[in-house]
Structure 1
């Protein structure tokens, strides 16, 4: 009896020691109340399903570039970053002074933030503009809104405009200009008649675009394939189709560049922690899907898809065990 009891006690002790410790990590995201803050809450809930003592603490930052800087300096455990931002960091492009090479991916969170180019219908009709590259030869005095410096969609928009033959000098010569403004501000400016075109890389039917589509007569410009290919090659972005009818004057599918977002750690994260987090994400993916209707398309297959940043060994182990290793 004593031997049996002692064996049972030893067995419980061994089992307890083998259990993973709860994870306690900081996650650097973006603006408070934005999608990334909701993702932070979903990631935290996914971890808590497996261990109620686990905590993912979300901290608001200036966005992906800022998060990469924090990761590079080992001042945060996790960061949400756009794939295009990570691609720039890996090569040491602006705003980085040297390559950031310590990043390791935990999961691919979404890849459906397509670049939109909305032009007022009056301007499009007057200058016969249907495609982005029509602008270069149109002579139209177009005032184009692009996102603020430091936002990756600004970099991508400028590249796409350049590949379509549109420069700031050309716009100026025609009486137009580039105006830097955030998504909501762009929407207000085009509704007030102070912009002729707006562009951003955010979800289809995002509230800012929906307001423009409802209150301004606009058309969604098509994008030449060579512009898409050149942009994807430079930024590591993908291609996405905005389905016909997504906006009121859109009569055909439009292919365009699409940004995605990654959950990234550093190589300093121990394998057990990365394994635990990745395992919780793939098993409890519904917790992340539930944060916003735009996240309903997240699947284990996408979560485990390789992108521009190599996966952490702990994440690879988790996804291999779950049957999703690529």
Structure 2
């Protein structure tokens, strides 16, 4: 006796099996897409050859390690202020910007004409560029200056060097003078002056005795400071705690303690406002890219630390610890 087997149920079962296998394969592909993604990104920094260009190389190395074939191209620019605009215009995917510059952008303060609320933090790259006040020792002794407020108390005709106009370190320095009661107008009324000069020029002006003190954001024991101290007797001027508190509050930035041991010519620990460089994206950046870049920085942090001796203190806690501008949600999730 011949028994006819129903063919349709068998065919249907096979089709269902194929569909399940196909869906499983798609699922695997979605899980591996991120891991296999090769990115071609542009990172806006500052001048070529400086620390920010090295940070760009570190980000490139970290992303390459996690996503082989990726390229993060470092694009030179005018610095953090310019990078806000370049990021807004879509001319870069990532940008290095000082925390204080980002705060000015968010609040719509000069040089920005309106609030910019569409940038988000990915990572803090360093917080150790403190505002250092380095004074000619002879001048300090002549006018009994050991702390910033002594300039105002004694109405000293001091010639102060701030960074060039338009640089955020210059603006923070001016805020420090204001907080100590020694604004540029006050200093000029006492017979002194406030001069704006690039970091490289400041050492020359001090050595030539055309200035008495510099106030700038510099790494502790930076080569330029060592060179100045080799050619001129200098002292590290203390910063009054109320001035530091006022400036860090005004700019929503942190403070940094310069240890007494950092310099042979300091007389104690100095707590001063500090600038931090941070990596930013647009708020509407590709969420997967932000997640992958952040995860790569966390996983391969040693590659970023290795770009310069000054980067050794970098930690995941530091990268995730900014209070200035909100983190991109995918960056925050990557840290968690």
Normalising by the smaller structure, the TM-score range is over 0.9
Q: Distance in 1 between matches of 2:108 and 2:283?
A: 18
> 1:277: which partner in 2?
293
**2:177 is the alignment partner of 1:146:** no
**CA distance in structure 2 between the aligned counterparts of 1:318 and 1:141, rounded to whole angstroms:** 52
Aligned to 2:143: 127
2: CA distance between counterparts of 1:134 and 1:200? 18
Identify the residue that residue 324 of structure 1 maps to in structure 2. Answer: none
Counterpart secondary structure, 2:244: helix
Q: Which residue does the alignment assign to 2:222? A: 206
Change beyond 3 A, Cα 1:283–1:126? same
Matched, 1:263 2:279: yes
CA RMSD of aligned residues (A): 2.1
Unmatched 5+ residue regions in structure 1? 321-326
Return the TM-score normalized by structure 2.
Answer: 0.90
Match in the other structure for 2:6: none
Which deviates the most, 284-293 or 161-170? Answer: 161-170
Distance 1:283 1:72 in 2: 28
Identify the match of residue 236 of structure 2 among 213, 220, 231.
220
Aligned to 2:315: 299
Q: Please report how far the alpha carbon of residue 192 of structure 1 lies from its aligned counterpart in structure 2 after TM superposition.
A: 1.2
The alpha-carbon deviation at position 5 of structure 1 amounts to 12
Matched positions, count: 319
How far apart are 1:52 and its partner, in Å? 1.4
Find the residue that maps to 1:119 and give its secondary structure: strand
In structure 2, the partner of 1:234 is 250
Secondary structure at the aligned position of 1:287 is classed as: helix
1:246 to 262, 265, 272: 262
Query: Aligned pair 1:49/2:62, yes or no?
Result: no
1:248 Cα offset (Å): 2.3
The within-5 A match list for 1:3-22 is 15-18=28-31, 19-20=33-34, 21-22=37-38
Distance across 2 between alignment mates of 1:100 and 1:124: 42
Cα distance in 2 for residues equivalent to 1:145 and 1:308? 27
Aligned equivalent of 1:112: 128
The structure whose Rg is larger is 2
Shift of residue 95 of structure 1? Answer: 0.3
**1:194 is aligned to 2:210:** yes
- Offset at 1:7? 9.4
Unmatched segments (≥5 aa) in structure 2: 1-14
Deviating beyond 3 angstroms after TM superposition, the runs of 4 or more aligned structure 1 residues are 3-18
1:10 Cα shift?
A: 8.3
Q: Which residue of 1 aligns with 2:4?
A: none
Q: What residue in structure 1 maps to residue 40 of structure 2?
A: 24
| Separation in 2, partners of 1:81, 1:297 | 19
Shift of 1:119: 1.0
Find the residue that maps to 1:32 and give its secondary structure: coil
Q: Report deviation, 1:9.
A: 9.3
TM-score, normalised via structure 1 length: 0.93
Q: CA deviation at 1:238?
A: 0.7
Distance 2:116 2:18 in 1: 55
